[in-house]
Amino acid sequence: MDIEAIRKDFPALQQKVYDKPLIYLDNAATSQKPQVVIDRITQYYQRENSNVHRGVHFLSQTATDHYEATRTRVQQLIRAEKLHEVIYTKGTTEGINLVAYSFGEKYVNEGDEIIISQMEHHSNIVPWQMLASRKGATVKVIPMDETGTLDLEAYRKLLSDRTKMVAVTHVSNSLGTINPIQQMVADAHAVGAAVLVDGAQAAPHMQIDVKALDVDFYVFSGHKVFGPTGIGILYGKEKWLTDMPPYMGGGDMIELVRFDKTTYAGLPHKFEAGTPNIADTIALSTALEYVESVGYQAIADYEAELLAYGTEKLRSIDGIKLIGTAEDKASVLSFVMEGIHPYDAGTLLDRMGIAVRTGHHCTQPVMQFFDVPGTIRASFAFYNTKEEIDKLIAGLQKVKEFFV
């Protein structure tokens, strides 16, 4: 993998902040975009702009073809059996809300249970709480240990014939933990429960294979996989999607509209009401193509190297405690510094040109569990380098000196 060449593909990485070269280590929040993605959006607005699924004219047909081509690329990438099992959303959050609403309407009743985990992003907590209060169901939580590993023993005990849904993250955004999804799905299926996997943090790091995982639903966001904001993917098994009621009503999702009875369009359009985010959907395909050209295996190998290097370097600094030390981890380093508030550290690092995230990362229960006000999080993408990690380490040393 030629990192120098790859970095040149990302214009945002070329800039300086506060007169210092930008070191972007906030990839778990959102990733930077390669020039090809930016160009693809521009090209759409310059030459292809028109509405999809509606026109008989040339531009509309071209836009529709490109727009639908993204669906095919995603289907092939994640190995979905059917094209219409790929639904476009605004992002992970919308995907989860859609399932919580539509699946919940159809399949969840009073007394039923939904299982989530202690390391979920608020996006994968709140929609289930809303569903539970709407239906009189209960949300149960899989506990984790002090390394940030889920307690699978406890998980199995929570499963029962009352369990209708298990909603769990593939990779934790605040800890980096990679959860054993395949095993967890098998356990859930054994009691007849469906599984939704929040893939927001997994999709940037690994090729998702919904078939091998045998998940019922899988969601991720375009903006974290080097694509645009405002487009995300919901994969759902046909057997569920077919019977689930629509989430939003409007144009494009209908078959026939009569004042006495309206019938809905088939999949996937039943879940895609209104004029969609056409430009960004098209550019998502470009982003995924770019990632595939770098290669998922090369990315995994390189990021594992970055993670090992960063972990070792961080451990060498006195007073730094890693939060999230599971055996199987994505390239996320979350940590706290003794006697220094994450906000103070982040503010100083920012002035050194180093972009990290500080705070609770939308996972307040995780912060409560580790009894910290928040963490400092450095999250790496395949365009980051060991030199950047060295600069982070030097920056942290400086932060320490600042507060002694």
Partner 1 sequence: MERRDIQEIAAEIIDEFAFLDDWMDKYQHIIDLGKSLPPLDEAHKTDENIVRGCQSQVWLVPSLDGSQVVFHADSDAFITKGLIALLVRVFSGHTPEEVLNADLTFIDQIGIREHLSPTRSNGLNAMVKKMKMYALAYQAMNKS
Ligand X SMILES: Cc1ncc(COP(=O)(O)O)c(C=O)c1O
- The residues that touch ligand X, with contacts defined as CB under 6 A, are 91-93, 121, 123-124, 169, 173, 198, 200-201, 221, 362
The 8 Å CB, 24+ separation contacts for 321-324 are: 323/148, 323/174, 323/175, 323/370, 323/372, 323/375, 324/147, 324/148, 324/172, 324/174, 324/175, 324/176, 324/177
Query: Which residues fall within 8 angstroms of residue 95, CB to CB, at 6 or more apart?
Result: 87, 89, 217, 219, 220, 232, 233, 234
CB of 222 to ligand X, least distance (A): 8
For residue 402, the partner it binds in partner 1, ligand X, none, with Cβ less than 5 to 8 A by kind, is partner 1
Q: Determine the Cα–Cα distance for residues 348 and 341; give it in Å rounded to an integer.
A: 11
CB of 352 to partner 1, least distance (A): 9
Number of residues in contact with partner 1 under rule CB under 8 A = 15
For residue 93, the partner it binds in ligand X, partner 1, none, with Cβ less than 5 to 8 A by kind, is ligand X
* Alpha carbon 121 to chain centroid, angstroms: 10
Calculate the alpha carbon distances from 273 to 152, 232, 265, 277, 390 in Å.
39, 15, 10, 11, 48
Tell the residue number behind the tokens 């836009």, with chain if given. 63
CB of 1 to ligand X, least distance (A): 25
Query: Which structure tokens are listed for 19?
Result: 């007169």
Query: Which structure tokens are listed for 41?
Result: 């959006």
For residue 403, the partner it binds in partner 1, ligand X, none, with Cβ less than 5 to 8 A by kind, is partner 1
Nearer to partner 1, 251 or 359 (CB): 359
CB of 399 to partner 1, least distance (A): 10
Nearer to ligand X, 279 or 396 (CB): 279
Binding segment for partner 1 (CB under 8 A), chosen from 86-94, 113-121, 288-296, 338-346, is: 338-346
Nearer to ligand X, 219 or 396 (CB): 219
CB of 296 to partner 1, least distance (A): 34
Q: Determine the Cα–Cα distance for residues 345 and 354; give it in Å rounded to an integer.
A: 11
Contact 378, 333 (CB under 8 A): yes
Q: Which of residues 339-378 bind partner 1 (CB under 8 A)?
A: 340-344, 347-348, 351, 358-359, 373-374
In terms of Cα–Cα distance, which of 250, 291, 257 is closest to 271?
250
For residue 311, the partner it binds in partner 1, ligand X, none, with Cβ less than 5 to 8 A by kind, is none
For residue 331, the partner it binds in ligand X, partner 1, none, with Cβ less than 5 to 8 A by kind, is none
217: β partners: 196, 236
Q: Is 403 in the site for partner 1 (CB under 8 A)?
A: yes
Q: Is 277 in the site for partner 1 (CB under 8 A)?
A: no
Residues 12, 17, 23: CA angle, nearest 5 degrees = 60
Catalytic residue among 17, 154, 265, 362: 362
For residue 252, the partner it binds in partner 1, ligand X, none, with Cβ less than 5 to 8 A by kind, is none
Nearer to partner 1, 315 or 398 (CB): 398
For residue 340, the partner it binds in partner 1, ligand X, none, with Cβ less than 5 to 8 A by kind, is partner 1
Calculate the alpha carbon distances from 2 to 14, 38, 98, 298 in Å.
16, 21, 40, 10
362 assigned to active site: yes
CB of 21 to partner 1, least distance (A): 16
Q: Which of residues 1-40 bind partner 1 (CB under 8 A)?
A: 18
Q: 4-32: string of b/e by CB count within 10 Å (b at 16+)? A: eebeebbeebeeeeeeeebbbbbbbebbb
SS3 of 355, please?
strand
CB of 400 to partner 1, least distance (A): 13
Residues engaged in binding partner 1 (CB under 8 A) = 18, 340-344, 347-348, 351, 358-359, 373-374, 402-403
Active site (catalytic) residues: 362
